[in-house]
A = this chain, B = another copy of it.
Amino acid sequence: MQSPPTLAAHDPMLKLENQLCFPFYAVSRQLTKTYQPYLQALGLTYPQYLVLLLLWEHEQLTVKELGDRLLLDSGTLTPLLKRMEQRQLLSRRRDPRDERSVVIGLLPTGRALEAQARDIPGQLLAKAGLDLDELAALRTQLTQLLARLT
């Protein structure tokens, strides 16, 4: 009687609203858009911001280490890092002890963005309407799911 307005029987598992992945896909893109105005003020894209988060903490990392932490491969990172190198945010050089590795180092211009980025996380949490407890709980679930998928 109160069936949906479809003409034929339709497998409910194949409805968009019942998909597992779509909410993650949509939330991820919406979150990136939410970051965008803050990052645009720093001239950064979201993946570039992630690279800087790691460099602010570690100062030097190889392309491989960045890829392992961000789950991105060199086909994504190499051109992204070259663009950031052109802006003097970071340096790229071969490791003399292993010429296969490329070491990415934070430059002063990149370090200077750290201060300007300091209040971005807080503003994002406010926009998302999450308090720190909810955030921690959600992050735990997502991290567990991520571990099961990788």
Interface residues of chain A, those whose CB is within 8 Å of chain B, are 4, 6-7, 10-11, 13-16, 18-35, 46, 50, 53-54, 56-59, 69-71, 114, 117-118, 121-122, 124-125, 127-130, 135, 138-139, 141-143, 145-146, 148-150
Q: Find out whether the CB atom of B139 lies under 8 angstroms from the CB atom of A127.
A: no
Q: Which residue of B lies closest to A54 (CB)?
A: B16
Task: Let me know if B125 and A31 touch, CB within 8 A.
Answer: no
Q: Which residues of B contact A16 (CB under 8 A)?
A: 50, 53-54, 57, 69-70
Please name all residues of chain B whose beta carbon is closer than 8 Å to the beta carbon of A148 when the two chains form the complex. Answer: 127-129
> What is the minimal beta-carbon distance from A124 to any residue of chain B, in angstroms?
6
Q: Is the Cβ of A146 less than 8 Å from the Cβ of B20?
A: no
Chain B proximity of A117: nearest CB distance (Å): 6
Task: Describe A's contact surface by its main secondary structure.
Answer: helix
A125 touches B57 (CB 8 A): no
A68 shortest CB reach to chain B, Å: 12
Known: A14-B114, A71-B29. A23 touches B143 (CB 8 A): yes
Interfacial chain B residues near A28, Cβ < 8 Å:
21, 24-25, 27-28
